Structure formats: structure tokens, C-alpha cells
Amino acid sequence: MIETLVSAPDPADVLRVDLCAIIVAVTDGTPRILTIESAESDPIASRALRALPWGPLDPRTDRTLERTLRSWVARQSRLALGYVEQLYTFDEGRAGEGLRRISVAYLALMQEQTIPQAGAGWQDVYHFFPWEDWREGRPELIDRCLLPGLTHWLGALGDPLQAERERERVEIYFGLDGAPWVPERVLERYELLYQAALVPEAGAQADSVLGLSMAFNHRRVLATALARLRGKIKYRPVVFELLPPRFTLWQLQQVAEALTGMSLHKQNFRRLVEQGGLVASTGEFAYDTGGRPAQLFRFRRRVLRERPAPGVGLPGGFRDS
């Protein structure tokens, strides 16, 4: 009897795993992410598309996902990551010739640092999702651009029942007809715009008023990260990862507003933060405020032992003028 030995296929020939990092900072009240230049170009603007720091995993040599991610980030930006957490795994499906692609995204929070690497730099999150920034009220591009585009898409649907279901999604996701605007629905809104072919990633001939496009699936990854942060801020003290060790309550509020895209009532916000035991006074003051000296606080780490969900409260309403 003759046995035929069939060697197993090389994992790299049947499955490709890409790792990407969403590195978030808040600087002067602006939420920022680290991006790099990609090899993909924007056919409309004739420029290189921005991408998140990323790179492939080599299953033959790379020991762990996180270590490989840190290595790619260091090579592309010369930035050493601190704490990171896995965000989500995206199945990109078949990429031709039997190859399947998986993207594993990680989320990191830090204070902004100078990036010496050419091609890498910080970008305003809301340049990619301008309809998500409600700090100055409802963005006018929703009514000027997005809703007319969505209305046209609904009218082109041949099935009345499907059109009615999609119309309900539009109303719920964009806060229409009595539905509230829910900041955490970032991904649902982006995927609806993608389904309606209103964003460049879906083939739309759109300009930058609908947000800057990104290479690969990275705008979808970023939408997922922003949605996660907006939800997590309510039950985890993530905002303090974006602040210096000593900060004013105004700086804390600016970070919360930057992440949620909503302006918050000043007195209600401070009352919730102080009553929640999240901060403690340092006994020091900041004098570079342009006005009265502001008291400096620190994150009170003992709250992690005292409360199961020590997030920052988010009162409704616009901040005082």
C-alpha cells in the first residue's frame, strides 16, 4: 500500500489577517486620530487617501496580534503605544483566488504627540464624519446634502415595503419625526449612507462636504471606534486617558464634548462629575485660562473600587454661552 502525503496549505495563502490601530487624542477640544498615507488614491481629489496605521500579520513569524500591531505603528509613525484594547474583528470576505481577508482593529487613547515620521499625522475625526459633530447645533449639511440624497434613494426603491422599512431607519438614525439623535449610532448612520451609495467608498462621486474618504475599510473601522467610545464614556472613565494628570473641569468637559459631538450643560456636567466621585482637587490652580484662575483636579482612581460603572455623566442641553 502506498500512502500519499498531502501537505497542509500555507496559512498565508488562504487567510490574510490585517491589523489596524485607531489612536485617539483630544487636543484643544478637537478629537484627533493618527493617520498615515496609503498607496490608494482618491479619484476625485487626486491625492493619496489617509489610512489608519496598519499592517499584515505573518502567522509564520509574528508571535502575537498585539505585539505585531505595536511594531507596525512604531514603524509607520515612530509612536510607542501604551494601553490598547481590541475593538472588533471585521470579516472582509473573499479577496480572490480563495484568499479570505480578516481585519482586527485595536483602540488606543493618548495625549497627542509630535509625529516625526513623514506621511503620518493627526487628523480631526469630524473631517471624516462631519454630520456627527453637533456641538454647535444640528449640522446644516444633514438637511442640505444627506437627507435629499437619502430621500432620492428611498424613492428609487422598487418595493414599497422595503422603502418604508428603510425610511424608518433614516428617521431613527438621523433623529427625524420625533426620534432623538443618538450619538452612539455612528456606525449605523455610516452604513446607511454606504447602502444608499452616498459616500465615496460606495462609489459615490461625492466631494469633501460628505467627509474625507479613507483607504480600505478604514472609515467603517473609525465609525465603529467612535461609536464604541461614545457608548463607553458613560460607564468607563476613558476620558481621563486623554487628559494630563492635572486638569480643570473645563478641560474635562471639552474632552467629553469632543468625543460625543454634543455640547453639555456646564453646571449639570460638573455636578454629575463631582457627585460621582470621579475627581479630587489637587489644591492647585491654573492661571493661564484667560480669566479667573481655575482649580486643578486629578482622576480619583479609588472610584474604580467603589462603583461598577464609573463613567462620566452626560446631561442633556447645550452649554452655557
117-154 tens-digit pLDDT = 999 999 999 999 999 999 999 999 999 999 999 999 99
CA neighbor of 236 nearest in space, from 304, 128, 311: 311
Number of domains in the chain: 3
Half-sphere exposure of 114 (CA within 13 A, CB side): 1
Q: Running DSSP on this structure, what letter comes out for residue 180? A: P
Q: Is residue 86 part of a domain?
A: yes
Out of 78, 109, 127, pick the residue that ends a domain: 127
Q: Mean of the pLDDT values across residues 283-302?
A: 91
Res 263 pLDDT > 90: yes
Average pLDDT estimate for 195-222: 86
CATH number, domain of 272, equals 1.10.10.10
pLDDT of residue 48: 79
- Same-domain pairing of 74 and 170: no
Question: Does the CA dihedral 252-256-261-264 come out positive or negative?
Answer: negative
Contact 218, 88 (CB under 8 A): no
Report if residue 222 sits inside a domain.
no
CA–CA–CA angle 103, 107, 110 (5° rounding): 150
| 48 & 17 share domain | yes
Residue 96 pLDDT? 60
pLDDT at 10 over 80: no
Angle between helices 186-195 and 160-173 (to 10 degrees): 140
Contact 127, 260 (CB under 8 A): no
**Confidence band, pLDDT 50/70/90 cuts, at residue 316:** low
Please report the pLDDT score of residue 44 as a whole number: 52
Is residue 282 within 8 A of residue 297, CB to CB? The reply is yes
Burial group, residue 135, by CB count within 10 angstroms (0-12, 13-18, 19+) = middle
pLDDT at 94: 67
The size of the chain, in residues, is: 321
What is the structure's pLDDT at 314? Answer: 72
- What pLDDT is stored for residue 42 in this prediction? 57
195 and 289 fall within a common domain:
no
Q: Based on the domain organization, do 161 and 254 belong to the same domain?
A: no
pLDDT at 198: 92
Q: Strand (E) positions, 198-269?
A: none
pLDDT cut 90: percent of the chain above it = 74
Task: Identify whether residues 243 and 265 lie together within a single domain.
Answer: yes
CB 99 within 8 A of CB 138: no
Q: Is 178 left (phi over 0), alpha (psi -120 to 50) or beta?
A: left
pLDDT at 196 exceeding the cut of 50: yes
Residues 6+ apart with CB under 8 A from 231: 184
Give percent of the chain above pLDDT 70.
88
Q: Which residue has the cell 462609489?
A: 203
pLDDT at residue 99 tops 90: no
Q: Is 219 a member of any domain?
A: no
Q: Looking at per-residue confidence, does 209 or 233 come out higher?
A: 233
Q: Determine the average pLDDT of the residues in 80-85.
A: 93
Q: How confident is the model at residue 3 (pLDDT cuts 50, 70, 90)?
A: very low
Dihedral (C-alpha) 112, 114, 117, 122: value to the nearest 10 degrees?
A: 40
**pLDDT value of position 6:** 45
Residues 116 and 18 in one domain: yes
Look up the pTM and report it.
0.90
Are residues 115 and 70 both part of a single domain?
yes
Strand 47-51 relative to strand 30-42, pairing: antiparallel
Would you say residue 224 lies in a domain? Answer: no
Among 219, 47, 19, which residue's Cα sits nearest to residue 104?
Answer: 19
Nearest Cα to 29, choosing from 274, 278, 263?
263
Residues 135 and 113 in one domain: no
In a domain, 226, yes or no: no
The predicted model gives 75-104 an average pLDDT of 87
Q: For the residues 190-215, what does the mean pLDDT come to?
A: 85
**Amino acid letter, residue 19:** L
Note whether 143 and 71 are same-domain residues. no
229 pLDDT exceeds 90?
Answer: yes
Q: Domain holding 33: CATH number?
A: 3.90.79.10
Identify the pLDDT of residue 171: 97
User: Range of 16's domain?
Assistant: 12-127
> How does pLDDT run across 19-51, given as a tens digit for each residue?
999 999 999 999 999 999 987 655 555 567 899
Q: Are residues 134 and 122 in the same domain?
A: no
| 6 part of a folded domain | no
Query: Is the sign of the CA dihedral 248, 254, 259, 262 positive or negative?
Result: positive
Indicate the residue among 127, 149, 184 that finishes a domain. 127
Of 75, 103, 127, which residue constitutes the final position of a domain? 127
Longest dimension (CA), the chain: 92
Tell me, yes or no, whether 312 lies in a domain: no
Q: Are residues 293 and 248 in the same domain?
A: yes
The most confident of the ranges 97-106, 183-192, 285-294 is 183-192
**pLDDT for residue 297:** 97
What number is the average pLDDT over the span 256-262? Answer: 96
37 domain residue, yes or no:
yes
Q: Decide: 35 and 52 in contact? Cβ < 8 Å.
A: yes
**Pair (38, 108) in one structural domain:** yes
| Residues 242 and 111: beta-carbon distance below 8 Å | yes
Q: Are 13 and 100 in contact (CB under 8 A)?
A: no
